[in-house]
């Protein structure tokens, strides 16, 4: 059918601003859609520290030549996101009665996805049956319209969504609200017989709205014990009737994050005192929900890297063209130090020269890791001394975590000195 590619392109746009129910994540992504969600999923358990990966135990060094005009960003940058969408988890009973939704702009896109839920007896996970656009009526101020009617020009049933993007929209039905419905409140109701305890995620992408929820976190990497600083604001001033912030672990655990509203701006400053262990490379999520008094709702999600302080960079020793990173190792693993080296060009300006990578396996204790800079590659840049290390980054390769970033001027020529690192 010719309209399918267009529909899919629209639904991919939805996925950019709302949670994607990828394979294996459907149940996780839908456990916290109420404003007052439970603090922690009782059945979820933190993953164990994974040091069983077959990692190289030998020391490895590599030097990468940088372009002198390369624009480098030092330190930690803010994590930002904006959203014109929201989602909520609803039961089969609610869908049969009618779920109240809101669209600020015309032609909003609606997605309905079945999710797993406990059967309440054997506590086994039961997946709700897929529903199709023809199974829904949309009731607004202009009356009731079936979601598969001609006025709902963009629509895709679950099979079409599966065929096009099975990993993104498994068993999902999607349709666009008729332009005749305008904006405001509407009700989504199914006339298909479904179990009262069946569970669904309803996503609304308000694509033509001018109202976005903008959320910003002070940086992308956090360690256990540090504080999460988050700011969130609706792009157009509106009286806020309800709000919530939630931290979600990759394994399904979740915590309510205390937040306060001042002059329509939502802020948090919450110390991370939770078990942050997770599988290597997995990201955590901060989910922000804001609801205006007129019914408008938005949900924005920010991905963050949250990890343990498995090692610490205590300082950098630099002299005679060599440098060493002084490390405190708390957990066995393979650790890497990256160093951005600058040199002087013909005009006397300090510009990027090379990026040096040095990695090795360490057991707990105080250790020194030489930062080996390939002199031949450094010479190929044509840059002259003095050479300086402008930034260093400590990485935990075992757990795929960025632990620490330090910015300073460590000169590789001249008298030996030790710079004590300052957390950024």
Mean pLDDT over residues 333-350, rounded?
95
Distance CA 337, CA 349 (A): 26
> Is the domain of 189 the same as that of 218?
no
Coil, helix or strand for 9?
A: helix
Question: What's 374's domain CATH number?
Answer: 2.60.40.3870
> Is the domain of 151 the same as that of 276?
no
Can you give the residue range of the structural domain that contains 25? 4-37+84-205
Alpha helices in 81-164 (DSSP H): 92-97, 158-164
Angle at 149 between CA 143 and CA 150, to 5 degrees: 110
Report the DSSP pairing between strands 384-396 and 333-344.
antiparallel
* Residues above pLDDT 90, as percent of the chain: 48
> Is the domain of 236 the same as that of 215?
yes
> Is the domain of 181 the same as that of 300?
no
Mean pLDDT over residues 265-281, rounded?
86
Coil, helix or strand for 179?
A: helix
* Residues above pLDDT 70, as percent of the chain: 75
Residue 387 counted as domain residue:
yes
The predicted structure's pLDDT at residue 141 = 74
Domain end call among 259, 281, 307? 307
Examine the pLDDT at 80 and tell me if it is beyond 50. Answer: yes
| pLDDT digit string, tens, across residues 184-214 | 889 999 989 999 999 999 999 999 999 999 9
Number of domains observed in the structure of the chain: 3
> Is the domain of 303 the same as that of 313?
no
The predicted structure's pLDDT at residue 17 = 34
Q: How far is CA 167 from the centre of its chain?
A: 18
| pLDDT digit string, tens, across residues 146-163 | 656 655 555 555 566 556
Residue 415 counted as domain residue:
yes
> Is the domain of 297 the same as that of 390?
no
Distance CA 62, CA 47 (A): 32
Question: What's 201's domain CATH number?
Answer: 2.60.120.1370
> Could you give the dihedral angle defined by the CA atoms of residues 151, 152, 158 and 164, in that order, rounded to the nearest 10 degrees?
110
Q: pLDDT higher for 220 or 248? A: 248
Examine the pLDDT at 82 and tell me if it is beyond 70. Answer: yes
> Is the domain of 200 the same as that of 225?
no
Domain end call among 162, 189, 205? 205
| pLDDT digit string, tens, across residues 114-158 | 988 765 554 567 888 888 888 888 888 766 666 566 555 555 555
> Is the domain of 185 the same as that of 263?
no
The predicted structure's pLDDT at residue 56 = 75
The predicted structure's pLDDT at residue 8 = 31
Distance CA 94, CA 280 (A): 39
> Is the domain of 223 the same as that of 151?
no
Domain end call among 186, 205, 224? 205
Alpha helices in 234-302 (DSSP H): none
> Is the domain of 179 the same as that of 31?
yes
- Burial (CB count within 10 angstroms: exposed 0-12, middle 13-18, buried 19+), residue 76: middle
Distance CA 403, CA 101 (A): 42
């Amino acid at each position: 059918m010719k309209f399918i590619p267009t529909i899919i392109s629209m639904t991919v746009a939805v996925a950019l601003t709302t949670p994607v129910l990828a394979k294996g994540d459907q149940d996780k992504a839908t456990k916290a859609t109420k404003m007052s969600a439970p603090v922690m999923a009782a059945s979820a358990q933190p993953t164990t520290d994974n040091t069983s990966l077959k990692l190289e135990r030998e020391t490895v060094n590599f030097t990468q030549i940088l372009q002198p005009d390369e624009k480098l960003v030092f330190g930690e940058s803010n994590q930002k996101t904006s959203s014109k969408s929201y989602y909520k988890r609803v039961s089969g009973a609610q869908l049969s009665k009618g779920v109240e939704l809101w669209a600020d702009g015309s032609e909003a896109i609606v997605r309905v996805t079945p999710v797993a839920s406990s059967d309440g007896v054997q506590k086994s996970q039961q997946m709700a049956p897929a529903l199709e656009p023809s199974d829904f009526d949309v009731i607004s101020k202009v009356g009731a319209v079936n979601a598969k009617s001609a006025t709902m020009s963009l629509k895709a049933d679950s099979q079409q969504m599966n065929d096009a993007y099975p990993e993104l929209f498994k068993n999902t039905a999607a349709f666009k609200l008729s332009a005749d419905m305008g904006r405001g409140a509407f009700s989504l109701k199914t006339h298909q017989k479904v179990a009262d305890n069946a569970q669904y995620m309803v996503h609304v992408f308000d694509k033509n709205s001018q109202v976005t929820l903008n959320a910003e976190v002070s940086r992308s990497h956090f360690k256990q014990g540090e504080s999460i600083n988050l700011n969130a604001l609706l792009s157009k001033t509106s009286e806020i009737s309800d709000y919530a912030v939630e931290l979600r672990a990759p394994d399904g655990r979740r915590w309510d994050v205390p937040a306060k509203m001042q002059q329509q701006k939502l802020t948090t400053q919450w110390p991370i005192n939770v078990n942050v262990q997770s599988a290597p490379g997995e990201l955590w999520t901060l989910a922000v929900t804001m609801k205006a008094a007129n019914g408008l709702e938005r949900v924005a999600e920010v991905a963050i890297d949250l990890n343990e302080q498995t090692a610490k960079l205590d300082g950098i020793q630099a002299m005679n063209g060599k440098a060493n990173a002084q490390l405190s190792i708390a957990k066995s693993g393979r650790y890497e130090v990256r160093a951005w080296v600058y040199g002087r060009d013909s005009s006397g300006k300090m510009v990027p020269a090379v990026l040096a990578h040095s990695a090795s396996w360490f057991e707990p204790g105080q250790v020194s890791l030489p930062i080996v800079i390939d002199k031949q590659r450094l010479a190929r840049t044509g840059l002259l001394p003095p050479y300086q290390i402008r930034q260093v980054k400590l990485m935990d390769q075992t757990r795929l975590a960025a632990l620490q970033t330090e910015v300073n001027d460590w000169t590789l020529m001249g008298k030996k000195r030790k710079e004590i690192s300052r957390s950024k």
